[in-house]
Every structure is written in C-alpha cells, then in structure tokens.
Amino acid sequence: MGFFFLLALLFWLKNIFAYMVDFHLGIESSIQYFILFINPIATTLLLLSIALYVRRTKAAYITMLVIYFLMTLLLFSNVSYYREFTDFITINTMLGVGKVASGLGESAIRLFRPYDVLYFIDFIVLIAAFSMKKIKMDTRPVRARMAFAISTLAVMVFSANLFLAEADRPELLTRTFSRDYLVKYLGINAFTVYDGVQTYQASQVRAEASPNDMNEVESYVKEHYAEPNDDLFGIAKGKNVIYIHLESVQQFLIDYKLKDEDGVEHEVMPFINSLYHSDSTFSFDNFFHQVKAGKTSDAETLFENSLFGLNQGALFTQLGGKNTFEAAPDILGQTQGYTSAVFHGNTGTFWNRNETYKRFGYDYFFDASYYDVNDENSFQYGLHDKPFFEQSVQYLERLQQPFYSKFIAVSNHYPYSEFTNEEGGFPLANTSDQTINGYFATANYLDKAVEEFFNYLKESGLYENSVIVLYGDHYGISNSRNRNLAELLGKTSSTWTNFDNASLQRVPYMIHIPGQSNGGINHTYGGQVDALPTLLHLLGVDTSNYIQLGQDLFSDQNEQLVAFRDGDFVTPDYTYYSSTLYDNRTGMPINDPSDELQAKVDEWKAKVDKQLSVSDQINNGDLLRFYAKSGLEEVDPSTYNYKDALQQMMDIEKNLGSDSTSAFSQNGNQSTVDLYQTKTFQEYQQMTEQDSGE
C-alpha cells in the first residue's frame, strides 16, 4: 500500500506540474484552482487500484508500474502535443497518428524542453531503488476488501469532483464546450475515456444517417446561399486554375520588413507583396483560416469543398478514404471539362492524401515519388520549394488545358530550421524563441520559389491563360508562442491578449487574374470556407445546387461572419474568442454588453454553431452520398490511378493529336522545362551586389 500511495502521489505531482507549466487552462477562480488540484486524484487511484487485485506479489508490482507508466505516457504525449496545437490528444488523433507519423520525429524533438526529464526521472530512480534493494517488495498480499475500498473511494472522489465541476460549469458533459474544459475540470485520464466513448458514438452516427437528414442540410444551404456578384461572375471563365498553397504563411508577413541587428530592414516576401498590391489581384486583408488539428489538410478540405474539417483530428485521415464529396476538381472536371492535378513533394500517404484526392476527383497526384528528393534538397516534410516548383513543370506542361491544379509548398513549415547551405543568409529574428527566429527566413525562401515559378508561367505562356490563387493555410506561430512574437509586431508581450491571438489568425488570400485591372485590397471579413463559391463564381460556375457552406466573398449578400472551428467567431466589429467578446476597434474586452449587443452576439453564436454543426452532420453522416441534385455523378475512386502519370498524360496527348491543349503540345511538341530559371539565395545576393557595384 505504501508503494501504491507513493506512485499516486508522484503522478499527482507530475499532473500538477503539467497544469502549471505546460497547459494554459484559463483558471479564473479559487474554486477552479481547487478542482484543478483534485481532478487527477480519482482516476489515478482508480487505475492504480487495478493492480491491488493482483494476488501474486511480483505481478502486482509490475502491473502497478505498467499502469503508472502508461498514465505518464498519456500525460506527456498530451504535454508535447499541446505545445504545438494548444489542444489535447483525442482517440481519433491517436488512431490517425500512424498516417501522419512519417516525418514527425524531428518536430517532436524540437518540442522537448529540458525539464521534461522530470516526467520520467522517477522511473530511473524507482528501478535503481528496486535493483539496489532500497525498495523491497512487500510480500503480504493486499486484502481484497482493501483493494475494493480504494476503488470505491476513487469512485466517490470522482463523484465529488464531477459535482463541483457541474456546479461551476453546468452542462459540462452534455455540451462539451471544449477539450480544455474537460481537462480543466476532470483531468486528462477522464477526458481520454470520455473522448473514447464519444468517438465510438460517432462511428454509429454514420451507420444511422439516412437520406432524410439531407433535408435539413439542404434548407440551411439554400437559406445561407449568397448570390454571385454580376460584375465578376465568369470573368475567369475557362481559365486554368493554379492554387499555390503558402505553407504556414500568416497575413502579418504581408508587407512585413524584418530588422537585422544593424537595424537594416529586409522585406520578407517582396514578390508576394507585389502580387498583393497588383491591380490584377483581388486581395483580402480580413481573411481567416478555419482549421483545427488537421491543419494543412483541413485547409484543403475547406478550400475544395466549402465544408469544415472535423472538430477532432483530421477529416482527411478519418473520412477522406470513405466519404462522398463534391469537391472542386470533381465539379470542374464533370461540368467544365477541366483536368486536375495536385503537386506536393512529400510522401503521398501523409494526411491520407493518396486516398482522399481520388474522392475529390483529382486526376493526378504528383507526390514525392515523382520528384528527385535527396538529403540535400529536402527535410522531414519533403522536397524544398525551389526544386519542388522547378521539378513540377515537367508534369505541368503535359496537362490538358484548362486544368485545375494545386501546388503545396512546404519549406515554410515548423520548425522553420534555417538553411545552412547556399539558401542561408536571410537574417534571423532575434527573440528567445528559435521557432519564431527562423520563420522569416523560410518565408523569404518560399517567396523566391513562388517568384521563380511565376517567371516560368510567364515564359511558357501559361500565365495569361490562368487564374493564380495564393493562400495561407494556417498560423505558423502558435498561440503559445505569440507573446514572444509581440515585440516584432510593435506590441508588448505583457499586454498581449486573446484578441491579439484572434487577429493573428488572418492568412493571405489572393486571386491573381492576369489581364484584369480592377483588383485591389478587399476588406470583407471571410474565411477559408468562403473560397470555393468565390472562385467558382469567377469561373462562371453556378453553385446554387451544390452543398457548400461558405458565401461568395464578392456577393452583396455575404454576411461577414467568420466561424473558427471551435465555435469562436469574428465579425467586422467584434471578436468572440475563448469565451470573451472584444471590440475590434479598441481590442478591449466587453464585459457588460448592452442587451441589444448581447442579443446580436447570441444570434451570431447560434449561426456559427449552426454552420459548424451542419458541416459535422454532412461529414460524420457522409450525407453527400444521398444527394443527387447537384447533377454530379458519384466519383468512383477505383478508376483513379496515381502511378505512371507521365505516361498517362502522354497517351492522352497522342490520342488528341492536334487537339491536345497541353503546354507541351502548344509549344510545338517541345518541352518548356528549359525556360525554368532557379538560383540560390547566395546567387541572388551576388547579383544584387554586382548591380549596386556598377
């Protein structure tokens, strides 16, 4: 029993340590502190007490240690996950983790802190103590009555805990406000069990969904639909679409200049800034990402389906290989004769893309296997951006036009390791956070890569005939790091608030249409879910029969209510973030809103919850399998083959003969690959130095 209580005490200490140091649970009162301090007790006693029922001495000790180890592992995994995602690990995340594990190793190591030893040092001490006989096994068996008494005590403590929690936060379990709440009130173990039960129930949801469920969805979509803007509808009809995914780029990088140690300013993304300010670009400066744990893949879900990702885990990994979609490549393929392709220099299984893209209707997926990737030109998430774009054009030039294509850049990805080769040289920021310091240099590299790609598009003639859409997928600097970023943004870390965190969720969204001159910076508030109807209307596609949850950003009917995936939201005047309402003009919290304002807020909140729940209904119930009114034929994934794409494209070229519209064919059956120019950072540096010397 002594050993039992020792382990219980140690685990309680670790848990409290994690609460104080790593998690930010927003404790607001002394009662909440009290609940926080007691919430590990019940489950720790209960789980460890299992070992007390084991009769044989050695087996009992081992069982207890194993349980103790597993609890520590769960706690520690949550600690490191939280550092990146500011969230806790769900069962779905655990189940999906195999799919994303390849390449996560180095990131995980970057997430370690020296004090993490504290979570594991006791194992070394305990094992040493046992082997040096400092702790001896007590061979007297624990009486069954005693074991039962402990388990019962645990259940009673849990009831008391739950009672206090419900008193402080009514409906905690029925409404599950957020995972933070569950951990704050009930602890990690209880949260994990609760989540497991919910996950199981979710799998039942799909099985039980019926065509009738579609009616409610349909009426919401009809009501929420925003009509296209007449002046812009169809201005890009028939053009190629080239999406450029700007990994982890936040809006604050636009026009940002980083000061080096001599006070000299360095523009981080000069080329992308020039696009941002171009008359041919429809740019947005109040456009927000809406992703959650599925990050890049959630952004892809939003942009291509006008549906949200899931509230837990990633839609791509959980449902991407199962559900029916009405995604952009499919719509454009079936209704406008587009060919579609994704380009990405990472392994195709990451985020389960290889399966999901088929269900999105993508004709081709050029993953890492299509590129020359080696240790020098890549990192854990795949091929670096300059060789990525350069090597992509040998495939791009073979696509029949019009095409819908997506280029997923990746170098500007956490951990933003600075380049140590000829790409190195852009100044690092000088904060105490390594991750922030490298962010500007990798963003600058991305900018150059995009510029080189644009140059090629112009040289090859593809440019004139294309709409080029650039977007940031999600934050690059997580909320837990933002205080360290404050100074670089002209703010102070001590006065940093959740309003500032919310504001930083803006990401770039630019639609560049060569030949147009009525672009400009549009201040409409919108989110990634709005992108698909916006784009389709520019391409002259009627979206009124599709199940899309966003609203065209150019429409007069656009509501400018932007939902975050966790139910928070932003409007042009107010921000609701982490249960607090802020005035956008002052950035200050509004603690006593007028009745009128409160009524507005309640209405917005209800609309946001509705939009999110309709999205979840569609996804979890796989409801699009019941929807025929779009007129689209259901995608059959088995007809897609992502191998030997070059051969497939060449066969098509051959069959079409003089009707082939690929850039290769239009160039007189000559490759355009030689038109691609790429240089390293150092080579560019030398060029500018020579210029200024002359």
User: Looking at the annotation, which residues are catalytic?
Assistant: 296
Instruction: Enumerate residues 321-340 that contact Mn ion by CB under 5 A.
Output: none
3-state DSSP assignment of residue 404: strand
Q: Are strands 403-408 and 240-246 parallel, antiparallel or unpaired?
A: parallel
Quick one: 100 or 258, whose CB is closer to Mn ion? 100
Quick one: 529 or 561, whose CB is closer to ligand GP9? 529
Q: Which does 346 bind (CB under 5 to 8 A by kind): Mn ion, ligand GP9, none?
A: ligand GP9
Q: Which does 150 bind (CB under 5 to 8 A by kind): Mn ion, ligand GP9, none?
A: none
- The least CB distance from residue 381 to Mn ion, in Å, is 9
Of 366, 288, 242, the C-alpha closest to 566 is: 288
Quick one: 367 or 473, whose CB is closer to Mn ion? 473
Tokens coding 689: 């130095």
Rounded-to-integer distance, Cα 357 and Cα 362, Å = 5
Residues paired with 366 in a beta bridge: 343
φ, ψ at 308 (rounded to 5°): -85, 160
Quick one: 298 or 330, whose CB is closer to Mn ion? 298
Instruction: Name the residue number minimizing CB distance to ligand GP9.
Output: 295
Of 95, 107, 87, 99, the C-alpha closest to 293 is: 87
- The least CB distance from residue 297 to Mn ion, in Å, is 8
Rounded-to-integer distance, Cα 530 and Cα 528, Å = 5
Quick one: 397 or 566, whose CB is closer to ligand GP9? 566
216, containing H or E segment:
helix 213-224
- The least CB distance from residue 526 to ligand GP9, in Å, is 21
Quick one: 14 or 358, whose CB is closer to ligand GP9? 358
Tokens coding 677: 């120019």
- The least CB distance from residue 247 to ligand GP9, in Å, is 6
Cis preceding-peptide flag for 415 (omega within 30 of 0): yes
Rounded-to-integer distance, Cα 369 and Cα 439, Å = 28
Quick one: 410 or 649, whose CB is closer to ligand GP9? 410
Span from 266-274, 296-304, 445-453, 680-688 in contact with Mn ion (CB under 5 A): 296-304
Q: DSSP secondary-structure letter at 2?
A: H
Quick one: 184 or 406, whose CB is closer to ligand GP9? 406
Of 65, 94, 62, the C-alpha closest to 78 is: 94
Which residue carries 């850039």 as its tokens? Answer: 663
How many residues touch ligand GP9 (CB under 6 A)? 9
Quick one: 344 or 358, whose CB is closer to Mn ion? 344
Q: Which does 226 bind (CB under 5 to 8 A by kind): Mn ion, ligand GP9, none?
A: none
Contact 663, 672 (CB under 8 A): yes
Of 438, 452, 375, the C-alpha closest to 409 is: 452
Contact mark string toward ligand GP9, 347..386, x via CB under 6 A: ---x------------------------------xx----
Contact mark string toward ligand GP9, 328..347, x via CB under 6 A: ------------------x-
Rounded-to-integer distance, Cα 570 and Cα 568, Å = 7
Q: Are strands 240-246 and 466-472 parallel, antiparallel or unpaired?
A: parallel
- The least CB distance from residue 304 to ligand GP9, in Å, is 14
- The least CB distance from residue 348 to ligand GP9, in Å, is 9
Q: Which does 635 bind (CB under 5 to 8 A by kind): ligand GP9, Mn ion, none?
A: none
Quick one: 296 or 339, whose CB is closer to Mn ion? 296
Give the number of other Cβ atoms within 10 Å of residue 464's Cβ: 11
- The least CB distance from residue 291 to Mn ion, in Å, is 8
Span from 138-146, 405-413, 521-529, 566-574 in contact with ligand GP9 (CB under 6 A): 405-413
- The least CB distance from residue 74 to ligand GP9, in Å, is 22
Q: Which does 80 bind (CB under 5 to 8 A by kind): Mn ion, ligand GP9, none?
A: none
Residue 14 touches ligand GP9, criterion: CB under 6 A: no
Give residues with Cβ within 8 angstroms of 313, minimum separation 6: 90, 92, 93, 95, 96, 293, 294
Span from 200-208, 358-366, 407-415, 627-635 in contact with ligand GP9 (CB under 6 A): 407-415
Q: Which does 179 bind (CB under 5 to 8 A by kind): Mn ion, ligand GP9, none?
A: none
115: left (phi over 0), alpha (psi -120 to 50) or beta: alpha
Residue 473 touches Mn ion, criterion: CB under 5 A: yes
How long a stretch of residues is the chain? 694
Interacting residue with Mn ion among 250, 296, 479, 575 (CB under 5 A): 296
- The least CB distance from residue 410 to ligand GP9, in Å, is 5
φ, ψ at 520 (rounded to 5°): 140, 180
Q: Which does 402 bind (CB under 5 to 8 A by kind): ligand GP9, Mn ion, none?
A: none
- The least CB distance from residue 477 to ligand GP9, in Å, is 13
Give residues with Cβ within 8 angstroms of 19, minimum separation 6: 25, 36
Of 623, 516, 604, the C-alpha closest to 560 is: 604
Tokens coding 208: 């039980």
Rounded-to-integer distance, Cα 21 and Cα 550, Å = 39
Instruction: Enumerate residues 52-71 that contact ligand GP9 by CB under 6 A.
Output: none
Span from 317-325, 406-414, 493-501, 549-557 in contact with ligand GP9 (CB under 6 A): 406-414
- The least CB distance from residue 97 to ligand GP9, in Å, is 13
Instruction: Name the residue number minimizing CB distance to Mn ion.
Output: 296
Give residues with Cβ within 8 angstroms of 194, minimum separation 6: 173, 176, 182, 186
Q: Which does 333 bind (CB under 5 to 8 A by kind): Mn ion, ligand GP9, none?
A: none
- The least CB distance from residue 279 to ligand GP9, in Å, is 32
Span from 120-128, 358-366, 408-416, 676-684 in contact with ligand GP9 (CB under 6 A): 408-416
Interacting residue with ligand GP9 among 75, 408, 504, 549 (CB under 6 A): 408
Quick one: 54 or 108, whose CB is closer to Mn ion? 108
Rounded-to-integer distance, Cα 306 and Cα 548, Å = 5
Residue 558 touches ligand GP9, criterion: CB under 6 A: no
How far CA 115 is from CA of 8, 112, 306, 348, in Å, comes to: 21, 8, 43, 36
Return the beta strands (E) in 183-292 as ranges. Answer: 240-246, 257-259, 265-267, 281-284, 287-288
Give residues with Cβ within 8 angstroms of 347, minimum separation 6: 102, 103, 367, 368, 369, 382
466, containing H or E segment:
strand 466-472
Quick one: 296 or 524, whose CB is closer to Mn ion? 296
Q: Which does 350 bind (CB under 5 to 8 A by kind): Mn ion, ligand GP9, none?
A: ligand GP9
Instruction: Enumerate residues 283-302 that contact ligand GP9 by CB under 6 A.
Output: 295-296
Return the beta strands (E) in 174-231 as ranges. Answer: none
522, containing H or E segment:
strand 520-522
Which stretches of the chain bind Mn ion, using CB under 5 A? Answer: 295-296, 473
Which stretches of the chain bind ligand GP9, using CB under 6 A? Answer: 295-296, 346, 350, 381-382, 408, 410, 413
